[in-house]
Amino acid sequence: MIIEGADLNNREKAMFALRALYSSHGFSLYRMSKFEEFDLYARNRDFMDSASIITFTDTDGMLMALKPDVTLSIVKNNRHIGNDIRKLYYNENIYRVSPKTHYFKEIMQVGLECLGKVDEECICEVLLMAAESLKVLSENAVLDISNLDILSRIIEACDVSEEVEAKITGCIGEKNLHSLSRICDENGIDGQKKELLQKLITLYGDPEEVISELEEVFYDLGDDLSEESRKIYSDSIKRLVTIMDAFEGTGLEDMLRIDFSVVSDLNYYNGIIFKGFVEGVPDGVLSGGQYDKLMDNMNRTSRAIGFAVYMDYLGKLSKFDGEEVVIRG
């Protein structure tokens, strides 16, 4: 059926447009309950953006929670995947404390997940889907990507505690050179490693140029990396090249940037992570990445990558004004 543009707000129009995009690329709609056992979220609080959870006691005495996260539910309910790749998309309401109002809010998310034998082709497909999603929302958009494996190997060479690792990661995410310099000095991180960490903060822009600089960083690290770390670092650079090549000729290549200030919890995420921005919205409207470590923490043998689009940020988008939306299924 066709619904006139005036009958839907911009968020609803964007939601249906994204659903149509994912369905057309072979992703299946995944539906889930509005609540899960509280223990699922209690064991993985650090994975979620918000630690506040709405709970209630079920009729059998089980402590339940209104769903504050979609990914955890999908992983929990997809145990046996084997060597297949399960391609899912969703539009679900989650329940979190709003950073703006500091009150609980029902928030619509649209996103997709790939679970199973995730390879480079699958990673590139998800990144292209992320870029296509941003294009659906705005003609002026940027997709910033990073590789946590590179960051973690440089930090590993510094030989510091997990607490200091977290502080360093936070400084890089905030592009805070001053605090990073202080933390390095306080923890005896020598001049060259300190310089390399500071370089990660400033590395941003065209993938080809940034990759060239990363290769110089790799050379500078020299024997400070173990043989295993050198291989991981080298493979991580090659993966960025593969992604850059996958975007070539798609019409989306100008959206792609490499930005190492895009960071996530190293206990859950690994490899490629990314964040998307559109003109007119001050915050990132899309974020995602590989979360093999979360899969391992939840006793899954498969790998995973996915992203979410935060629909509550999209109320003022003008792109859908006056458009008709075709809804199928």
The chain-wide mean pLDDT, for the chain, equals 84
Among candidates 131, 128, 127, 194, which has minimal Cα distance to 157?
194
User: Could you tell me whether strands 85-97 and 28-29 are parallel, antiparallel, or unpaired per DSSP bridges?
Assistant: parallel
C-alpha–C-alpha distance, residues 247 and 298, integer Å: 33
Under the banding of pLDDT at 50, 70 and 90, the label for residue 87 is very high
Lowest pLDDT segment from 83-87, 227-231, 280-284, 302-306? 227-231
| Percent of the chain with pLDDT strictly greater than 90 | 37
Each residue's pLDDT tens digit, 157-184: 788 888 998 899 899 989 999 999 999 9
**Beta strands of 174-327 (E only): which ranges?**
204-205, 256-259, 270-278, 286-290, 303-310, 325-326
C-beta of residue 243 within 8 angstroms of C-beta of residue 274: no
Each residue's pLDDT tens digit, 63-78: 998 888 889 889 888 8
Each residue's pLDDT tens digit, 262-271: 988 777 888 9
Residue 27 makes CB contacts below 8 A (sequence gap 6+) with: 87, 88, 89, 112, 129
What is the per-residue pLDDT for 93? Answer: 87
What is the per-residue pLDDT for 41? Answer: 85
C-alpha–C-alpha distance, residues 35 and 54, integer Å: 10
Residue 111 makes CB contacts below 8 A (sequence gap 6+) with: 70, 89, 90, 288, 306, 307, 308, 309
* Statement: residue 7 has pLDDT above 80: no
* Statement: residue 288 has pLDDT above 60: yes
* Statement: residue 327 has pLDDT above 70: no
225 Cα distance to chain centroid: 27
C-beta of residue 185 within 8 angstroms of C-beta of residue 158: no
C-alpha–C-alpha distance, residues 176 and 197, integer Å: 11
Each residue's pLDDT tens digit, 25-62: 999 999 888 888 888 888 887 777 656 788 889 989 89
Which structure tokens are listed for 152? 């973690």
What is the per-residue pLDDT for 282? Answer: 81
List the domains of the chain with CATH numbers. Answer: 1-140+306-329 (3.30.930.10), 141-278 (3.30.930.10)
Which structure tokens are listed for 247? 């975007």
| Percent of the chain with pLDDT strictly greater than 70 | 89
**Beta strands of the chain (E only): which ranges?**
2-3, 28-29, 35-37, 55-57, 63-66, 85-97, 104-116, 141-147, 204-205, 256-259, 270-278, 286-290, 303-310, 325-326
Among candidates 19, 61, 18, which has minimal Cα distance to 37?
61
Amino acid, single-letter form, for residue 88: L
What is the per-residue pLDDT for 326? Answer: 44
What is the per-residue pLDDT for 256? Answer: 95
Q: Taking residues 280-294, report their average pLDDT.
A: 89
C-alpha–C-alpha distance, residues 106 and 289, integer Å: 24
Each residue's pLDDT tens digit, 113-158: 999 989 999 999 999 999 999 999 998 999 999 998 888 878 887 8
- pTM of the full structure: 0.87
C-alpha–C-alpha distance, residues 291 and 300, integer Å: 11
